[in-house]
Amino acid sequence: MNKPIAIMFFIFLVILGQIPFLLANQADWTYRTEKIVYSVDISSDGSYIACGSLDNNFYFLSKDGNLLWKYPSNDRALSVDLTPDGSYIVGGSRDKNVYFFSNKGDLLWSFPTGNTVESVAASFDGTRIIAGSDDGKAYFLSNKGNLIWQYETTQPITTVAITPNGKYITLGSNDHNVYLLSENGELIWTTNTLGEINSVDISFDGAFISAGTKNGWIYIISNSGEILNKSKRNDGVINVKINPDGKNIVAGSREGGVYIISNNGQELWKALEDKGIYSVSINPDGSKIAVGSMDSIYVLSNNGKDVWNYQTYNDKNYLYSINSLAISLDSTTLVSTSRDSVFLFNHGEKKEFDVDKYICYKEDSLLDTSSCNKMLEDGDNPYHQRKGILERLLGLLGINNNAEY
């Protein structure tokens, strides 16, 4: 192959490789509810989407944006969590109930609490559910709807998280405390912070816990209760997410800015400091970060570069926060709320993720697996990236492609 032809062939490959990026800032579909959509979640491969709306309904959508079913609660549907395979959906409502559905739309059970259910989370197999209520209690439930235990604090529990195997649970409360509990309901530790807790998350192995307060503090805590780092960004409400291996924490502030912080507290980069950030998500290997601002979605690379952005509504006289968004575990799909709608983008590169590695329960019985009783070894990552055609061809041409998406 002579040099001009080789150059033209390479340019063609580059253009071909950029097509996903050019298309990425177009939504595949939008689904509209009757009022503000407050929370959203997505299955590991993007096949199913669950959301809760202030019109009181929980919605379950297909990957094509079709309504599979909806279920009315008696007040605002505030929180949802979806198991990675899309089999089970847990929801929390201002009607004080926790709801548990099959993906066929059957209400398997509901459980009453003493006040608004602010936050819910489920283990990967759906056998363990944690719910935080404004009555100051956290409720740990089985997939049969039985109360396994409850833990009481002095103020509303606004945020909860659970490890995929259901063995560790973290709570955030307006009493300024972050709590770590075992699956048996034993309090492992309590960490007092400098503000009411707005957001918590936990690494998949339970080794790292992150928390964001309503007055701008970010905390990184070990599973022994040691505060590894705390830092104040500004006075804004902080949302946090931690990637599965706990290496990177993404934090967004309503006063402006998104930050990537290592688990030892080092700030790796910051971006969008002039934008109020209301929701954040990070894919398993940390190569893609999504953030929601005022009627705008931003997708950033792992070095803070703006890969693409999308404006959901163009109304200069009225702006509304994007309350919730999520990236699928295989990294292909992003789903986001905006006002009364759900937006889906399906343009990412697929990265395999071994969900089964983190499941310890089957129905109500423990599986005989030692992997659930030890922390993951450093570098033991459950995902691997598939090399695309462009990367292979560049390799054949002797060109190293280190671009991140």
Domain assignment of residue 269, yes or no? yes
Domain assignment of residue 275, yes or no? yes
**Residue position matching structure tokens 């960490």:** 191
Domain assignment of residue 342, yes or no? yes
Domain assignment of residue 396, yes or no? no
pTM, entire model: 0.85
Question: Given CA atoms 165, 46, 78, 195 in this order, what sign does their dihedral have?
Answer: positive
Q: What is the pLDDT of residue 316?
A: 81
Domain assignment of residue 373, yes or no? no
| Cα–Cα dist 308/288, whole Å | 11
Domain assignment of residue 4, yes or no? no
Tokens of 58: 């929980």
| Cα–Cα dist 375/362, whole Å | 20
* Greatest C-alpha distance within the chain: 76
Number of domains the chain contains: 1
Q: What is the pLDDT of residue 166?
A: 97
List, for residues 317-370, the tens digit of each pLDDT value. 889 999 999 999 999 999 999 999 999 999 889 998 888 888 765 444 433 334
Domain assignment of residue 365, yes or no? no
Domain assignment of residue 390, yes or no? no
Contacts of 14 (CB under 8 A, 6+ apart): none
CB contact burial 47-64 (16+ within 10 A = b; e otherwise): ebbbbbbbbbbbbbbebe
C-alpha distances in Å from residue 317, one per residue of 35, 219, 291, 313, 314: 19, 36, 22, 11, 9
Tokens of 225: 């209760």
CATH number of the structural domain spanning residue 144: 2.130.10.10
Of the given ranges (72-81, 272-281, 326-335, 372-381), which has the lowest mean pLDDT? 372-381
Range of the domain at 335: 28-353
Residues 202 and 188: beta-carbon distance below 8 Å: no
